[in-house]
Amino acid sequence: MRNVAIIGTGHTKFGVRTDVNLQELAWEAVKQALEEANIDQNEIQYFVVGNVGNWSSEELPAVIVGEYCNLTPKGTMRVEAACSTGSAAIRDAYLAIKSGEADIALVVGVEQMHQAPNPQVVELIGRAGGYFWEFENFGLTFPGYYALHSSAYMAKYGMKEEDLGKIAIKNHYYGAKNPYAQFQKEITMEEYLKSKPVAYPLKLLDSSPITDGAAAIVLASEEVAKKITDSPVWIVSQGVASGTANLSRRTDFTHIEAAHIAAQQAYKRARIEFDNAWKNFDVADVHDCFTIAEIMAYEDLGFAKRGEGYLLAREEQTYIGGKIPVNVDGGLKAKGHPIGATGVSMAVSITRQLLYRAHKGTQVEVRNGMGITHNVGGTGHYAYVTIYSTRRPST
């Protein structure tokens, strides 16, 4: 089993991107990644396209993207794992290189959600669970799912609405410094508390937006990476888990069990102890589709004990300079959440952080040379936790 490195990254502006079509949007990210890796399309042996696309006119996005980006006749596939689609796409290319099936692979996540009207997109996302039981019978929307998590967490641990607001304020603070972010404006607690209710206790400013965007990475085997770059970022390990389709089959609504299991897997493979795992990382990108999701991620990753994740937010310990900087690119909340691209965007953010290539005002101090991403699909139906390092992993 071979070591796998990221040797190139690309990222588009997130937001309403109706100025381009799907393949043109993908090419913006792919072009950046190829240029950063200093290679051309002929050297790519395999490419994976992450795209959910229920709202898109393109039924075969991998084919369309491959043709436009001049990647054919390389082998390809389209990957979908709800909101963790980007990380699932990375996993496929990662395993292709690790197993020896390819030496250089490209991953592109792309989504153009504004091809459909907002109400239709909201409905389609709301179907991402036990459709007939939860959506048809009870009318649960996606905010409704996470409102259940929020209410359960508040009742059990005493978290306040202002603690959720701390997450939104932090992520907008960093989103304002990220030129790729959809929302580039800071918010105040007063603005947060006055924002429109969506599903109690969640408000508009607790919620990630509907987003278009693309991100790309080039992966290479160790032998190839050493020939191309003197600054690879290695994928040390990845944990993967899944949860039940129906929430009623879950025993605890105050955390996401699949994410916790995925973290344990990733830590074991990286030889990291779960308790105090945060000490190993310089930076983290976690799945904050709603503010409560970030607080639960703190606990599922071992950054805080059960029931104490909201204290990290309250004490502002996840800003740069705090205990563990989290979502300093703005997160899904402010950077945006183009579903198929989100996991790849996280990988781009962590890679650029570890190489001191982050945007001004968002760069962390890199001491350990390690970062982590946490990407959840649906309401814990899928979970991917990936660990990155500037240090070559032992085999």
Ramachandran class of 53: left when φ > 0, alpha when ψ lies in -120 to 50, beta otherwise: left
Whether 138 shows a pLDDT value over 80: the answer reads no
What is the model's pLDDT at position 121? 86
Region 207-233: what's the mean pLDDT? 97
Whether 21 shows a pLDDT value over 90: the answer reads yes
Residue with the bigger pLDDT between 133 and 312: it is 312
Indicate whether 300 belongs to any domain.
no
Question: 233 falls in which pLDDT band (50, 70, 90)?
Answer: very high
Whether 128 shows a pLDDT value over 80: the answer reads no
Whether 7 shows a pLDDT value over 90: the answer reads yes
CA proximity to 343, closest of 104, 109, 105: 109
Residue with the bigger pLDDT between 338 and 378: it is 338
Indicate whether 376 belongs to any domain.
no
What is the model's pLDDT at position 247? 79
Indicate whether 233 belongs to any domain.
no
Question: 239 falls in which pLDDT band (50, 70, 90)?
Answer: very high
Percent of the chain with pLDDT over 90: 86
Mean pLDDT of the chain, nearest integer: 95
Indicate whether 341 belongs to any domain.
no
What is the model's pLDDT at position 139? 65
Tens of pLDDT along 43-82?
A: 999 999 999 998 888 889 999 999 999 999 999 999 999 9
Tens of pLDDT along 262-312?
A: 999 999 999 999 999 999 999 999 999 999 999 999 999 999 999 999 999
What is the model's pLDDT at position 120? 85
Residue with tokens 């888990």: 241
Question: 127 falls in which pLDDT band (50, 70, 90)?
Answer: confident
What is the model's pLDDT at position 79? 97
Indicate whether 51 belongs to any domain.
yes
CA proximity to 89, closest of 384, 291, 290: 384
Indicate whether 272 belongs to any domain.
no
Domain range holding 89? 4-117+210-228
What is the model's pLDDT at position 133? 61
Q: Report how many domains make up the chain.
A: 1
Whether 395 shows a pLDDT value over 70: the answer reads no
What is the model's pLDDT at position 73? 94
Indicate whether 367 belongs to any domain.
no
**CB 343, CB 109: distance < 8 Å:** yes
Instruction: Give the CATH number for residue 38.
Output: 3.40.47.10
Indicate whether 161 belongs to any domain.
no
Mean pLDDT is lowest, of 69-73, 127-131, 184-188, 368-372, for: 127-131
Residue with the bigger pLDDT between 138 and 82: it is 82
Which residues belong to the active site? 83, 337
What is the model's pLDDT at position 70? 97
What is the model's pLDDT at position 78? 97
Percent of the chain with pLDDT over 70: 97
